[in-house]
A and B are shown apart, each in its own frame.
Chain A
């Protein structure tokens, strides 16, 4: 089955990213196709590389990045939500005159159309959030 996932909440504050991660891993293990993982609202904070969680805890952002490399996942951060919250890649830094970037390897910033397109192209869109 072709599945897309939407994550609406930030890491650590909320379990939605953890649940989505476990769901995506389980779906991949079962042979399903993950079309896209779309990060929206505070979910965009799952895509910063500047977080330093305690050593004895999971690293939510790194975990997504590693899974993306392993399975060639399409991790998309919503540009409008990212601009509000300061998630920045090279293109956004240049466009908005920012002096730094913080996007995690494996993520990329794109538009809300990517969410709609994923919903149209997938058999299921699974939303994680409140």
Chain B
């Protein structure tokens, strides 16, 4: 695999709690970031709730792992796509999401948003342009 770079797309479709998929997907993304591949994340369907801000799991006793998403920028994972349709269907806007950011080394380390809101057509293009699609 020396030198080979593939386009990875992680598709996150499930709510953050209730099942373990979201947490274990994030673990794959963080491990995968060490492999110097081109990584993109897509949040759609109930998966958009994974990056909703102000998550509080106290009453459920489950671990609130949402702060970990803030570390993605430090792992050079800064292409995060969110389905507009999925946000609309759930009465959410980008303001309801965590402000996930990265520092752009090509622009004097300016802090920039990693999040891009995308349409269904753009999601199709995203998938078509990926070598590896991992769906969680």
B24 touches A116 (CB 8 A): no
Question: How long is the Cα–Cα vector from A127 to B27 in the complex, in angstroms?
Answer: 17
B6 touches A41 (CB 8 A): no
Interface size class of B (residues with CB under 8 A): 10 to 19
- For residue B1, CB closer than 8 A to chain A, the reply is yes
- For residue B4, CB closer than 8 A to chain A, the reply is yes
Interface of A is mostly: helix
Question: How long is the Cα–Cα vector from A113 to B31 in the complex, in angstroms?
Answer: 6
- For residue A91, CB closer than 8 A to chain B, the reply is no
Taking a contact as CB atoms closer than 8 A, the residue among B20, B35, B136 that contacts A113 in the complex is: B35
Instruction: Give residues 95-130 of A contacting B (CB, 8 Å).
Output: 111-113, 115-117, 119-121, 125, 127, 129-130
- Chain B residue nearest to A119 (CB atoms) is B132
Per-position contact with A for B1-38: 1 when CB-CB < 8 Å, else 0?
A: 10010101000000000001100100110011011010
A120 touches B31 (CB 8 A): no
A125 touches B20 (CB 8 A): no
Min Cβ gap A5→B in Å is 12
- For residue A6, CB closer than 8 A to chain B, the reply is yes
B1 touches A112 (CB 8 A): no
Question: How long is the Cα–Cα vector from A96 to B113 in the complex, in angstroms?
Answer: 40
- For residue A77, CB closer than 8 A to chain B, the reply is no
State the B residues within 8 Å of A (CB).
Answer: 1, 4, 6, 8, 20-21, 24, 27-28, 31-32, 34-35, 37, 132-136
State the A residues within 8 Å of B (CB).
Answer: 6, 8, 40-41, 80-81, 84, 111-113, 115-117, 119-121, 125, 127, 129-130
